[in-house]
Amino acid sequence: MLIATIAVIIALAIFIIGTGYLVALYNRIVRRENEIDNAYGSIEANLKKRHDLIPNLISSVKQYMDYESDTLQQIVELRNMARSDDLSTKKQEEIESQMTQALDKLMVQVEDYPDLKASENFIQLQQSLNEVEEQLSASRRFFNSAVKQFNDSIETFPGNVIAALFDFSSREMFNAEVHEHKTPDVGSLLDN
Amino acid sequence: MDEFKQFYREELQENVKKLRKDNPNIFTRLEIKDFLKIDLSTLIIAAIFFMIFGIPILGVLWISKGSFPFFWTIIGVLTSHIVSRGILQNNFQEKAQFKTAFKQQIMGSIIRFLGNQFSYNPTEGLAKEKLNDSFILPRKAKGVKSEDYVSGTVGDTDISFCEIIASASMVEERKVYQISNEQKGFQKMSRSMLAKMRHEISEFYRGIYFVADFHKSFQANVLIRPTEFTWNDHHNEETAEPYKVNKRLDDSFEQVHLEDPVLESTYNFYSTDQQEARYILSTTMMERIKQFSNRTNKKLFFCFKNSSMHLTIPYKKDLFDPDILSESLRQEPDLSNILNNEEIFTYFQDINFLLGIVEDFNLNTRIWSKT
């Protein structure tokens, strides 16, 4: 009788500790999933900031450059496409990557327009754009870090058991290159 | 460096010469232990005198009768003690005056040579509250001795730095030892021992506290601390315990995991905002931290707060204090061989190195909204 009681107590203790551990693990996975959403929200906020800057940038640039230039047209088109609601994440990623390249190209073209380079309004816009680009890069890095932690937690034991039970699945990281190295260098403009 | 050598020949050397002439006795090395030796010797002689002359009759009677050996022995001991203390006190005062003169005439000149935009105040420093509020060190300082405040601008970047010596009560430290000792079966510490320790203060950090205006605006607090830090690394205290580097962080701080495995193995990163931490610690910034850390070969503490970068670099020596035993101060400056005075150049190089931090971290690049 005593042995049976001890066995029941031990079994109960194991059950309570085990359940507690699994609940804690589940909560940790949920927190990590929420962090991914939080990071994604931060990317979207920075993309919106970038989209909001583009009309001002275009209006500032077109006073000096030919508005019909391919680059300006491409930036405007990409911005309009990026603002559509029914875009998949992958498509959005592609559009934003193309926009980054188009903006870089624009900054190279600006080098041929000394008046534009010296324009106070343009310099401020470019500084804001640099800032947004780096914040975007930071939020993508945060997103990738959150995805890595989440994937690690659901792909290793016993997280994979919880993941199977509650239907958690691996997330994809952003493949877009870290933009920081390609940040348009306004330093050369300021040196003038 | 050539410009500084010329400046040394034309201006600084005269100051060094004058300082040396004005303080001829300063280089005599007198320490408390020398005077303790004098006191001890006198006491031993007094004891011998007393044993020879004082044993037959009680000392009290000898005093009352004005007897020679005991009375004059006591007077001798007291006089010797007072004189030796006086000499020591005088020596300390001379050294303090020399230190002040050195800072004003030599260090002040070196700072002026570096540019009119710099100001130097030997008596100003960092307030204890500011050090503790920055959370830069993992231990809360109970006392901070700080001096030699330099401020100015390097390019577009406002900077300031000063020396700090942070100390804490021994009680906290000893409690840790006590608990671990009790676990090992040692006897519990008595209340009186703990009360005594409450007044003991131990130095746990000594170095330079550097602040620079950061080139990006941010709201978050970011901390970078070495994964391991023992004061032993920079200080020869055998009893020094390793720092618990995640200490003193409130719930608003989260650990940040960055992409660089080498940096991650050397430092821990904490922030109140994961995204802003990465905005501040861009990939190039991480690279610069790594390079600077490797170059200095010191374990650094960083804090990014209120759009400023705070950095502490541990130093064993005082960067602004005169080294009394330094050859360049003791000897007549040699005009023919300027390298004999390389100690003076070391002061210049140390300060120049600190000003170079702005370039090391590329803080003059102002391509973001913050100007």
Residues from chain A that touch B259, judged by Cβ atoms under 8 A, are 141, 145
ipTM above 0.90, yes or no: no
Q: What pLDDT is stored for residue A72 in this prediction?
A: 87
Is A142 in contact with B275 (Cβ distance < 8 A)?
Answer: yes
Q: What pLDDT is stored for residue B4 in this prediction?
A: 83
Does position B305 have pLDDT exceeding 90, yes or no?
yes
At residue B245, what are phi and psi to the nearest 5 degrees? Answer: -75, -15
Q: What pLDDT is stored for residue A104 in this prediction?
A: 87
Is A134 in contact with B216 (Cβ distance < 8 A)?
Answer: yes
Model confidence band, residue B240 (pLDDT cutoffs 50, 70, 90): very low
Chain A from 125 to 164: CB within 8 A of any B CB? 126-128, 130-131, 134-135, 137-139, 141-142, 145-146, 149
**Higher-scoring residue by pLDDT: B243, B158:** B158
Q: What pLDDT is stored for residue B218 in this prediction?
A: 93
Rounded mean pLDDT of B273-295? 94
Does position B244 have pLDDT exceeding 60, yes or no?
no
Closest of A107, A104, A125 to residue A49, by C-alpha: A125
Does position B269 have pLDDT exceeding 90, yes or no?
yes
Model confidence band, residue A188 (pLDDT cutoffs 50, 70, 90): very low
- The model's pLDDT over A159-180, given as tens digits with 9 standing for 90+, comes to 899 899 899 999 988 875 555 4
Domains of chain A listed by start with CATH number: 2-191 (1.20.1440.20)
**Higher-scoring residue by pLDDT: B69, B79:** B79
Q: What pLDDT is stored for residue B232 in this prediction?
A: 47
Amino acid making up residue A138? A
CA distance A9 to A7: 5
Lowest mean pLDDT among B59-63, B75-79, B170-174, B216-220: B59-63
Name which of B274, B282, B367 is nearest A185 (Cβ-Cβ). B367
Rounded mean pLDDT of B23-32? 62
**Higher-scoring residue by pLDDT: B20, B359:** B359
Rounded mean pLDDT of A181-186? 43
Q: What pLDDT is stored for residue A59 in this prediction?
A: 87
Q: What pLDDT is stored for residue B363 in this prediction?
A: 92
For residue A128, the chain B residue with the least C-alpha distance is B369
Residues from chain A that touch B220, judged by Cβ atoms under 8 A, are none
Average pLDDT across chain A, whole number: 85
Lowest mean pLDDT among B50-59, B92-101, B285-294: B50-59
Chain B from 271 to 290: CB within 8 A of any A CB? 274-279, 282-284
CA distance B260 to B267: 10
Closest of B23, B77, B223 to residue B138, by C-alpha: B223
